[in-house]
């Protein structure tokens, strides 16, 4: 047992602030880091101490292992929390931190390495008896062998070029009779595109969902799961909306998928917070995808339905303490949904957006959490991830939580920069989202319905009226020009003219 008194957070933005919040509750001193671009960001001011990382590139700043460890030593930190992204799943960093005599808030380096490698992770899953997507990736390439393997896997199957990518040499086959022809086409395309006609055959998941299980382990061999999250609403493999519980799981299936995740955690001797990701098929079959050996972006969803503080648990486990909760003591209560607010323009192919944040807004409803890395006046540049914030709501039911999230996106608006705010609202109001028909293809299948709708007559009137309403004050130069001066603007003489408008 080694208590953590000072923690260095090797990250930025909202996750650095999230970790600081728990540290303040625990009486732990925090050190943050900031690059030159991030000097005005709140994660600098919110810490007990913040140290500048010189340089332009990520390699010089937030990925600079030696500089970060040196700062930890200089500032008297006992431990380093990597957050997510950046160095959080870098086994070499975890090793260096420990070698420097510091605690790494995360699993041991060899576990990170094992689960970080697709092949060794699959091997570990196989050994633990965890189902993988069935497939044939063997040397025998004759039509007869492949057709037999396809039958063993069970239709529908997908034939993919071994050298492939970009959809070339790829065929979905729904019936055994169609297999030979599809195989010939796939091989022909593969030969043309890659000069290599080898293919592999895999189970085709028609309506996949992304289901992940939060697991937690201490270094005394105790493992628990904190139920599942469904993160099927994704765009180009970037999650947009995450929720718990999944509308697709019956209590029996939940028990099955969560205990499967627990098996893998105990089989590899996991320590800390981890997430086991699965693909769930429409028939209830599920297959291991990968394990993330860190705190997830979407961890607040789990916190809202379990009442846990996952960052506190991470710190306690890193100190060598036993888990303070047992599996039997965990209850899944109500429903939580999170959305990621990103600086991007949904109306222009999701182009990353830049600019200055004019106003963030704050939640006004009960049980709404805003995890936000920025304040008014901060510049959004192209140097970092476009995710600005996460909005997480809890409600007694999924329907209540969905409504509250939609409403809260009228409170937290991130003015001054293009965001996916209204796009997320359109997803939340889509009948297939409401009915829980959430598959990973959602945003592609419903692309037309999710495009910005034409402005209704009533909405156009309202928009124009609001614009005209603020126009005189704006023309008088008084329209919330500087956010921190708002109070004085209301007392200023600029308002005098506003009363005389005809």
Partner 1 sequence: MTKELLIVIDTQSVSLSEIQRTPDKISGKIAGEPFSYLIVSEKDGWIVLQDEAGQQHRIYLSATDTKGRRTLMMPCHDVTICAASNQRKGSALASTTASSPMPGTVQSILVKVGASVKAGDTLAMMEAMKMQIAIPAPFDGIVAEICVAEGQQVPEATELVKIEKTHV
Window 425-444: residues binding partner 1 (CB under 8 A): 425-426, 429
Position among 167, 460, 477, 492 found at the interface with partner 1 (CB under 8 A): 460
Contact at 8 Å (CB) between 393 and 404? yes
Does residue 5 touch partner 1 according to CB under 8 A? no
Using the rule CB under 8 A, is 490 a contact of partner 1? yes
Active site residue 294: yes
CA distance 68 to 9: 9
Which of 385, 400, 403, 494 lies at the binding interface for partner 1 (CB under 8 A)? 385
| Span near partner 1 by CB under 8 A; candidates 242-250, 273-281, 330-338, 415-423 | 415-423
**Interatomic CA distance for residues 254 and 251, integer angstroms:** 5
Closest-CA residue to 361 (of 411, 299, 309, 428):
411
Alpha helix positions (H), 208-347: 251-267, 299-306, 310-318
For partner 1, the closer of residues 148 and 358 by Cβ is 358
| Residue among 444 and 462 whose Cβ is closer to partner 1 | 462
Binding partner 1 (rule: CB under 8 A), the pick from 98, 172, 323, 470 is 470
Among 147, 413, 432, 434, binds partner 1 (CB under 8 A): 413
Give the N- to C-terminal CA distance of the chain in Å, as an integer.
Answer: 74
Q: How many CA atoms lie within 13 A of 251 on its CB side?
A: 2
**Cα gap 52→275, rounded to integer Å:** 32
Q: How many residues bind partner 1 (CB under 8 A)?
A: 57
Residue (314 or 408) nearer to partner 1, CB = 408
Catalytic choice (171, 229, 294, 426): 294
Q: Which of 208, 363, 373, 386 binds partner 1 (CB under 8 A)?
A: 386
Does 269 participate in binding partner 1 (rule CB under 8 A)? no
Contact window for partner 1 (CB under 8 A) among 17-25, 202-210, 367-375, 454-462: 454-462
H/E stretch holding 238: strand 238-244
Cα torsion angle, 193, 197, 200, 204, sign: positive
Select from 9-17, 34-42, 98-106, 466-474 the region that touches partner 1 (CB under 8 A). 466-474
Token output for 360:
């963030």
The piece of 155-163, 270-278, 392-400, 461-469 that touches partner 1 (CB under 8 A) is 461-469
Which DSSP letter does residue 476 get?
T
CB atoms within 10 A of CB 40: 13
* Percentages (nearest 5) of helix, strand, coil residues in the chain: 35, 25, 40
Regarding 466 and contact with partner 1 (CB under 8 A), the answer is yes
Q: What whole-number distance in Å separates Cα of residue 488 and Cα of residue 498?
A: 15
Separation CA 202–CA 155 (nearest Å)? 9
Q: Which of 25, 467, 477, 492 touches partner 1 by CB under 8 A?
A: 467
User: If binding is defined by CB under 8 A, does position 373 make contact with partner 1?
Assistant: no
Least Å distance between CB 234 and partner 1?
Answer: 15
Does the protein bind partner 1 through residue 455 (CB under 8 A)? yes
Nearest by Cα to 291 from 313, 267, 265, 269: 265
Subset of residues 113 to 172 that bind partner 1, contact rule: CB under 8 A: none
Site for partner 1 in 324-363 (CB under 8 A): 343, 348, 351-355, 358-359, 361
Q: What angle do CA 316, 318, 321 make, to 5 degrees?
A: 50
Q: Does 95 bind partner 1 (CB under 8 A)?
A: no
Q: Are 363 and 408 in contact (CB under 8 A)?
A: yes
When the beta carbons of 74 and 460 are compared against partner 1, the nearer one is 460
| Element holding 132 (H helix, E strand) | none
Residues involved in catalysis: 294
Residues that bind partner 1 (CB under 8 A): 343, 348, 351-355, 358-359, 361, 381-386, 406, 410, 413, 415-416, 418, 421-422, 425-426, 429, 452-453, 455, 458-475, 479-481, 486, 490, 498-499, 501-502
């Amino acid at each position: 047992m080694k208590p953590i008194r000072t923690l260095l957070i090797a990250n930025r933005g909202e996750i650095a602030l999230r970790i600081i919040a728990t540290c303040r509750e625990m009486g732990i001193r925090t050190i943050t880091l900031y690059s030159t671009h991030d000097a005005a960001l709140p994660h600098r001011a919110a810490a007990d101490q913040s140290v500048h990382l010189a340089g332009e590139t990520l390699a010089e700043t937030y990925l600079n292992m030696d500089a970060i460890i040196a700062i930890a030593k200089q500032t008297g930190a006992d431990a380093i929390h990597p957050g997510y992204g950046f160095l959080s799943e870098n086994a070499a960093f975890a090793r260096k931190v420990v070698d420097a005599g510091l605690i790494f808030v995360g699993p041991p380096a060899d576990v990170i390495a094992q689960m970080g490698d697709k092949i060794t992770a699959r091997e570990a899953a196989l050994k633990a008896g965890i189902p993988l997507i069935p497939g044939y990736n063997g040397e025998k390439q004759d039509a007869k062998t492949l057709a037999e393997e396809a039958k063993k896997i069970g239709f529908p199957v997908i034939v993919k070029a071994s050298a492939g990518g970009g959809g070339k040499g790829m065929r979905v086959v729904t019936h055994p009779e169609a297999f030979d022809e599809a195989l010939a086409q796939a091989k022909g395309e593969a030969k043309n595109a890659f000069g290599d006609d080898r293919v592999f055959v895999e189970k085709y998941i028609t309506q996949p969902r992304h289901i992940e299980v939060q697991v937690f382990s201490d270094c005394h061999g105790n493992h628990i799961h904190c139920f599942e999250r469904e993160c099927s609403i994704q765009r180009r493999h970037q999650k947009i909306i995450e929720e718990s519980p999944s509308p697709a799981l019956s209590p029996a299936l939940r028990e099955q998928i969560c205990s499967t995740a627990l098996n893998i955690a105990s089989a590899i001797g996991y320590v800390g917070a981890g997430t086991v990701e699965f693909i769930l098929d429409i028939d209830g079959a599920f297959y291991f995808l990968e394990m993330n050996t860190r705190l997830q972006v979407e961890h607040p969803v789990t916190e809202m339905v379990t009442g846990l503080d996952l960052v506190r648990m991470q710190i306690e486990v890193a100190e060598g303490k036993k888990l303070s909760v047992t599996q039997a003591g965990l209850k899944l209560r109500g429903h939580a949904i999170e959305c990621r607010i990103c600086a991007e323009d949904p109306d222009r192919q999701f182009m990353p957006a830049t600019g200055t944040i004019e106003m963030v807004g704050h939640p006004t409803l009960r049980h709404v959490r805003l995890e936000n890395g920025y304040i008014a006046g901060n510049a959004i540049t192209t140097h970092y991830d476009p995710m600005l914030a996460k909005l997480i709501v809890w409600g007694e039911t999924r329907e209540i939580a969905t409504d509250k999230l939609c409403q809260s996106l009228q409170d937290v608006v991130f003015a001054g920069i293009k965001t996916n705010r209204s796009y997320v609202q359109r997803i939340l109001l889509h009948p297939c989202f409401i009915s829980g028909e959430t598959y990973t293809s959602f945003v592609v299948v419903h692309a037309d319905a999710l495009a910005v709708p034409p402005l209704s007559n009533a909405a156009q009137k309202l928009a124009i009226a609001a614009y005209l309403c603020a126009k005189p004050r704006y023309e008088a130069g008084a329209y919330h020009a500087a956010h921190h001066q708002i109070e004085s603007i209301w007392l200023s003489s600029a308002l005098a003219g506003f009363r005389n408008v005809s």
